Structure 1
Amino acid sequence: MTHPRLSAARLPAWLAADLPRADVGIVHIGLGAFHRAHQAVLTQEAMLVEPGPWGICAVARRNGRLVDALVEQDHLFTVTERGAADDRLRVVGSVREALLAVEQPDRLATVLSEPGTRVVTLTVTESGYRHDPATGRLRADDPDVAADLAGGPPCTPVGQLVGGLRRRRDRGHPGLTVVSCDNLPDNGRLVGRLVREFCARRGEHDLVEWVDEHVRFPSSVVDQIVPATTDADLARVAEALGLEDRAAVVGEPHRRWVVEDDFTAGRPAWDAVGVELVADIGPHQAAKLRLVNGTHSALAHLGLLAGCTTTADALACPAIAHFAERLLSTETGPSLRRFGLEPDEREVGALLTRLANPRIAHRLDQIAADAPRKLPQRLLDPAVDLLVAGVEPRLICLAVAGFLHQQDFPVLALPLPLRESRVFRALVADAVRRIDQDGVVATLHRIGRS
């Protein structure tokens, strides 16, 4: 059955009543499923509590089809919150404009420079910043970075930010706040350093001084499982709504956002809708990376070897489920003690229940992608802390062995303490040997009995 397209004119009144109408005050770079399910929803909820000019100009980096879909739908889209038992469908209208960065660089620079724009958010993935994780600096060998530094139309997020900030400074407009929402330690400070480095490498030291005075870069932590939308998801939305939504997104009901409270030009009433504003992001980001993301990565690298395709598939295997519970309760959880944190049995159970939701198809191959960038923060850093505390990170080493089994030419930059640790190297070697000899499930069963 063919359904008409979602639009403001066709939207039922009972759904339209909860849509905010606001001018753009936020630019988001990295328009994708996660942003639509997470920050766009929380921003809409905040504007319903406290109206204000906080509409979003959403910037896709390369996905022109998504931009076209949003434009054709008056920038409306649906979010399906998929629990273990049922769905909740909502229409989101916090996005007021959508741009394709590679085709509209001047419009992007303009909207970044407009005085009404007071917050910029980013979800560009760990690799999108084009930096070397070991040094925290821009990759000099990246052709897009080189092109941006040479003065062409900017194609990297950092280059695009600098272009907007330069125009903002030149027009005498006030500063703003840049909030990274990617899974990187101290992500705000990273973005701030890269922006300043970009300016300095172009010889724009006066712009560095302006940024220092007028721009804030708070770090943040986000948490929500948002798998890729499938054709079946689109069909369910059309059936439920009676309208076709080509920008529909599906995510779990859980949604968390923690942000350092350092804004220079105001913000939406995010704190009124559950966003946590904190003075120190460190403990929150360590917990997210090690507990949620670390468990994700361990499930991916071991579950794929066991023939599983999603986190729910993996946790349906008793041996893997027992491994995940022990990983959290005896290794990654206790590794947080230096931050003054350690999850209790209830928190471990709640996390595993989220990851085991059979109606959220979070694919293991998607999680395993770009593993060399992800594993240091998720599993290697907690291994270092455990070794310092005199604890052998046996289960973490098993997850690392799973990663090594999936790679033709595995490259993993180990922190110096792990490179120098005979214990760590021996544990990984033993785990690789056991998986080779017995297979991953038998190896996990043996661990379960130990």
Structure 2
Amino acid sequence: MSRPRLSAARLPAPLAADLPDGGVGIVHLGLGAFHRAHQAVLTQEAMRVEPGPWGICAAAQRGGRVRDALAEQDHLFTVTERDAAGERLRVVGSVRESLVAVAEADRLEEALAGPGTRVVTLTVTEAGYRHDAVTGRLRDDDPDVAADLAGGPPLTPVGQLVAGLRRRRERGHPGLTVISCDNLPDNGRLVGGLVREFCDRRGETGLTDWVEEHVRFPSSVVDQVVPATTDRDLARVAEALGLEDRAAVVGEPHRRWVVEDDFAAGRPAWDAVGAELVADIAPHQAAKLRLVNGTHSALAHLGLLAGCGSTAAALDRPEFARYAERLLLTETGPSLRRFGAAPGGREVEALLNRLANPRITHRLDQIARDAPRKLPQRLLDPAVDLLVVGAEPRLICLAVAGFLHQQGFPALPLPLPLRQSRVFRRLMADAVRRIDQDGVTATLSRIGRN
């Protein structure tokens, strides 16, 4: 049975009363599910605690499906949070406008240059910045980067940022804060460096100087599992709400955001609703990459070899659960000691309970994508830190061996200390041999007994 679409007029009064008021003060690049489940929710909560003009103008990069769905629903959408205890549904109204960046370049520039815009956030994925992972510079072999540098309508997020900042400077408007929410080390410094490089390569030294003085690029860490929305998810939302929501998202209840406290022109009261403002992002960043993402990658590359489809399916098997617990307690966790932090048993238990959430399908094949870009920060860097203090990264090597088997032994760039380490080479050879001879399940079972 078809149902009427979600809209402001049809929203039940108790849900409508929860929606915040206020104009647009944030532009977001990357209108994906993660942003809608994470920053949009925290921004709505912050606007309820401390009202202000912090609504969001959200830009999809190319595709118009989500933009069209939101426009047809007065930019309202639902977020369903699921865990073992059940599920809870909320309606989110912090997104006030939406557009498609590549097709509506001038409108995006106007939004970025608007005097009321004080914060720009980004979720464009690790690959969306079109940078070289080793040098941290724009990729010269990327045709969209070349087109942006040549002066055409901007096709990349960095080009879009620069176009908006250029127009902002020309109009004499104040600076703003740019916050990357993508899973990259020192993401704020990366984006700031790419913006300044873009300006320099275009010969716009005046704009480079203006950005240096007026724009802030704090780094941030985000954490929440938000899988792709399925047709079944949409049907459940329609049944619960009595209205059809074609922009619905589903995620776990856990929602974390850590941001360096360096803002140019104000911000929503995010810190009043759970976000953490910190002076040093490094320990939080390392913990997220090594504990959460490192465990994700280890389960993905070993679990796919054993026929598992999701983190929950893998952790439902005792040998995988024991392996993940020991990986956290004896290797990736202790590797954080140089940052002054290492998880205790309760933190490890809480993390594993999150990853084993039976109501969230976090697919292992999705986690395993783009592994050569992900593994250095998630598993190889902690291996280096363990070797420095004389510890053996045996379980990390097993995860890397799983990656090699699972993806057909591709080349994997190793940090110099690992290339030079006889211990690491020995452990890797042993891990590859064990999976070859015994298979993943027997290998993990043996680790659990030992």
Indicate the TM-score class for this superposition, using the shorter chain for normalisation. Answer: over 0.9
Aligned to 1:189: 189
1:152-198 deviation digits (Å, cap 9, x = unpaired): 11111101100100000011110000001111111100100000001
State the identity %: 83
Deviations 1:368-388 (A, max 9, x none): 111111111111110000000
- Alignment pair present for 1:16 and 2:19: no
Report the Cα offset of residue 407 of structure 1: 1.5
Where 2:226 maps in the other structure, the secondary structure is: coil
**Alpha-carbon distance, 1:443 to partner:** 0.9
Structure 1 runs (4+) greater than 3 angstroms displaced: none
Provide the C-alpha distance between the structure 1 equivalents of 2:34 and 2:13, rounded to a whole number of angstroms: 27
The alpha carbon displacement at 1:449 in A equals: 2.1
| 1:389 aligned residue | 389
* Structure 2: stretches of 5+ with no match in the other structure: none
Residue 403 of structure 2 corresponds to: 403
Q: 2 CA distance for matches of 1:423 and 1:439? A: 23
What secondary structure sits across from 2:305 in the alignment?
A: coil
Q: Please give the secondary structure, in 2, of the residue aligned with 1:203.
A: coil
**Separation (CA, whole Å) in 2 of partners of 1:212 and 1:176:** 11
- Counterpart of 2:176? 176
Q: Secondary structure at the match of 1:106?
A: helix
How many angstroms apart in 2 are the aligned matches of 1:116 and 1:418?
49
- Aligned positions, number: 450
Counterpart residue number, 2:379: 379
Deviations 1:182-216 (A, max 9, x none): 11111100100000001001111110000001000
Output the amino acid matched with 1:51. Answer: P
Amino acid at match of 2:176: L
Structure 2 residue identity aligned to 1:351:
L
Q: Identify the residue that residue 98 of structure 1 maps to in structure 2.
A: 98
Q: Which amino acid aligns with 1:202?
A: R
* Residue in structure 1 matched with residue 4 of structure 2 by the alignment: 4
2:114 match: 114
Alignment partner, residue 240 of structure 1: 240
Structure 1 position 264, deviation (Å):
0.7
> 1:409 Cα deviation (Å)?
5.4
Looking at structure 2, the residues matched to 261 and 412 of structure 1 have their Cα atoms a distance apart, in angstroms, of: 35
Query: Could you tell me which residue of structure 2 aligns to residue 142 of structure 1?
Result: 142
SS of residue in 2 equivalent to 1:131: coil
**Cα distance between partner residues in 2 of 1:62 and 1:396:** 38
**SS at the partner of 1:304?**
helix
| 2:270 counterpart letter in structure 1 | W
What is the DSSP-based 3-state SS (H/G/I as helix, E as strand, rest coil) of the residue aligned with 2:403?
Answer: helix
1:251-308 Cα shifts (integer Å, max 9, x gaps): 0001110100000100001111011001000000000000001000101001111100
1:366 is matched with 366
Secondary structure of residue in 1 paired with 2:341: coil
Q: How does 1:3-402 map to 2 (within 5 A)?
A: 3-402=3-402
CA distance in 2, matches of 1:212, 1:393: 41
Equivalents in 2 of 1:255, 1:220: separation in Å? 13
CA offset at residue 410 of structure 1? Answer: 1.1
Alignment partners' CA distance in 1, 2:89 and 2:295: 28
Once residues 137 and 406 of structure 1 are traced to their aligned partners in structure 2, the CA distance between those partners, rounded to angstroms, is: 30
- Partner amino acid for 2:103? E
The TM-score normalised by the length of structure 1 is 0.99
Aligned partner of residue 439 in structure 1, secondary structure = helix
The answer to whether 1:418 aligns with 2:418 is yes
CA distance in 2, matches of 1:284, 1:67: 33
3-state SS of 1:10 partner? coil
Residue 62 of structure 1 and its aligned partner are, at CA, apart by: 2.0
Question: Mind listing any 5+ residue stretches in structure 1 that lack a counterpart?
Answer: none
Return the letter of the residue paired with 2:18: D
Report the AA paired with residue 337 of structure 1.
Answer: R
Structure 1 stretch displaced more, 17-26 or 42-51: 17-26
What is the CA distance between 1:238 and its match in structure 2? 0.2
Whole-angstrom CA distance in 1 between matches of 2:123 and 2:274: 20
Which amino acid in 1 is paired with 2:107? R
- Residue 367 of structure 1 aligns to which amino acid in structure 2? I
Residue 411 of structure 1, CA deviation: 2.6
Deviation of residue 421 (structure 1)?
A: 1.1
> SS state of the match for residue 97, structure 1?
strand
Q: Which amino acid aligns with 1:341?
A: A
Residue 437 (structure 1) shift:
1.3
* RMSD of Structure 2 on Structure 1 (CA): 0.8
Q: Which amino acid aligns with 2:332?
A: T
Deviates more, 1:409-418 or 1:197-206: 409-418
